[in-house]
Amino acid sequence: MNTLEWISVLLAPFTGVVSWLAATRLRQNRTIQEMQKTILNLVEENKRVYSELTEARREIVSLSAQVAQLTLENAELKELIENL
């Protein structure tokens, strides 16, 4: 065998290993990119849910204040009725 044939024989496995390593790296990068997209989607969903929760809490506070006001009015009306 001459030198060119030896180089060809040795180059084939080397290029195979390099290709395999490159493909593995590419798969890992794609996986990381997909995970990052998933994380970003979860963050956006979390922001939306947190915003809804905050709004619901505001409504609860408002309703609690209204209930307290109605309770006072009810007590006043009971007192007026009792005095009649």
Write out pLDDT tens, residues 53-79: 999 999 999 999 999 999 999 999 999
pLDDT, position 58: 97
72 located within any domain: yes
User: Domain range holding 72?
Assistant: 22-84
The total number of structural domains in the chain stands at 1
Q: Does a structural domain hold residue 8?
A: no
Please report whether residue 35 resides in a domain: yes
Helix, strand, or coil here: 2? coil
pLDDT at 59: 97
Q: Is residue 7's pLDDT more than 90?
A: no
Does 3 reside within a domain?
no
| Residue 8 DSSP label | H
